[in-house]
Amino acid sequence: MPRPVFREERCKGCGLCIVVCPTKILRAGAHVNSRGYLPATCVNEKKCIGCLLCAKACPDIVIEIHKE
């Protein structure tokens, strides 16, 4: 099962991953990271299809998809 992993401290909250996610499981987080941004997060890992669109869209290489 694929699982998105976010390096929240590197995220600048641009939202590109949120826009491209076909299953709409990504959202802006509820807390601010140390850089002052709301990092993206996955709200339902079970619905991740492992398409990698979020990782490819991220300009800061914040997202990895772990396939278990």
What does the pLDDT look like over 36-47, one tens digit per residue? Answer: 999 999 999 999
List of domains in the chain? 2-67 (3.30.70.20)
- Cα separation values, 46 from 10, 23, 28, 49, Å: 24, 11, 18, 8
Residues 46-61: tens digit of each pLDDT: 999 999 999 999 999 9
pTM: 0.90
